[in-house]
Amino acid sequence: MKIENLKKVNLGHYPTPLEKMENLSKELGKGELFIKRDDTTGPAFGGNKTRKLEYLFQEAIETGCTAVLTFGGTQTNHGRATVGAAIKLGLKPILILTGADPGYLSGNLTLDALMGADIYFVPEEKDEEAVADEVIRKYEAEGDKVYSVPVGGSNCLGAAGYIISVKEILEQMKERDLTINHVVCTVGSMGTYAGLLIGAKYFNAPFDVIAVPVKPGEKNAEVLEYANEVCVYFDLGITIAEEDIKIAYGPASAPYAGEEYNKPDPITRDAIMMLAKSEAILLDPTYTGKTFRGFVELIQAGDWIKSNENAMFIHTGGVMALWTKEHLDDMQEQLRMNCKTTKV
């Protein structure tokens, strides 16, 4: 079956808005800059995971599952989006989270708890797969059938979400007669970036797709392998070549990924404040903040994104992570410097 005809459940609102960033375009003084608001997909604040989950939940329902289990860190956006999707579709949401119970439910955990998810906190030293097997056996003994979604929803089937999103982008460009030369997104568990890369090639898009990693380490080889696995899985008749993969790591002295995953540095927070102050669009500290810093620096440098070219940033969501105690604590000083507070 052609990938365009692949069945999915409906969870998100599409097309997501494609907005021109007028103020930011002026501020940077290069080409026209756009943003694709995949932070607005829904449900439960959605984000990029919704596009993948539509295909995965289709399979869950087709196979008669009554509960859905997935994995992530304690603040996983993917987990929260999966809980939201499960609730909408009447399935039981189960989260296997790596990390100790923080003892205080903030950010995504607040939302998971509000939606009544079953949450298992697994200490770092324990094997979460083994824990998941045990948990699944427990639910199955009680009569449930459990569908297991991999980390980030990034298996072959999940990648369909972002492959198909390219069709949506191309339709919006056509409707509004827009030229977009580059699309920039985050690369984490890879479903988003690989999907966009494949979609761009499969649908003959006029743009290339550039990704910014959110944790230190080389990522090109992994993306290449996964993307080609997906091409074979869907029998797309295309292959992704090494030179199709454009991952921007940033300067060695201050890489875009920062020191570690989920740890934004002051440069990342500056980038978050830059977009907040120019467009009133809010980014998250773990993924889109780091990616947006890369986006701005790529435009300023003019190598990959030339000064007369137009670029689009994909906002993949996750803003609720800003309201976790650790990020708020980290940010206090910089926040004060970014605004004017007056004691009256």
Ligand X SMILES: *Cc1c(COP(=O)(O)O)cnc(C)c1O
Closest to 15 in 3D by CA, of 37, 46, 32: 37
For residues 84 and 188, which CB has a smaller minimum distance to ligand X in the complex? 188
Residue 50 engages ligand X in binding (rule: CB under 6 A)? no
- Which of 25, 148, 186, 310: binder of ligand X (CB under 6 A)? 186
Residue 77 engages ligand X in binding (rule: CB under 6 A)? yes
Residue 165 engages ligand X in binding (rule: CB under 6 A)? no
Angle at 156 between CA 318 and CA 228, to 5 degrees: 110
Residue 155 engages ligand X in binding (rule: CB under 6 A)? no
Residue 12 engages ligand X in binding (rule: CB under 6 A)? no
Distance CA 46, CA 207 (A): 25
For residues 58 and 288, which CB has a smaller minimum distance to ligand X in the complex? 288
Tell the residue number behind the tokens 């875009």, with chain if given. Answer: 256
Burial class, 97, CB count within 10 angstroms (exposed 0-12 / middle 13-18 / buried 19+): buried
Residue 193 engages ligand X in binding (rule: CB under 6 A)? yes
- Which of 16, 25, 48, 74: binder of ligand X (CB under 6 A)? 48
Residue 189 engages ligand X in binding (rule: CB under 6 A)? yes
Residue 192 engages ligand X in binding (rule: CB under 6 A)? yes
**Bridging pattern class, strands 18-20 and 33-37:** antiparallel
For residues 31 and 70, which CB has a smaller minimum distance to ligand X in the complex? 70
Q: Concatenate the DSSP letters of all residues of 169-196 into one string.
A: HHHHHHHHT----EEEEEESSSHHHHHH
Nearest distance in Å: CB 306, ligand X: 26
Tell the residue number behind the tokens 């944790």, with chain if given. Answer: 215
Residue 327 engages ligand X in binding (rule: CB under 6 A)? no
Question: Tokens in use for 199?
Answer: 């979609």
For residues 186 and 268, which CB has a smaller minimum distance to ligand X in the complex? 186
User: Is the alpha carbon torsion for 214, 94, 111, 162 positive or negative?
Assistant: positive
- Binding residues among 253-292 for ligand X as defined by CB under 6 A: 284, 287-288
Residues at the interface with ligand X (CB under 6 A)? 47-48, 77-78, 152, 154, 186-193, 284, 287-288, 316-318
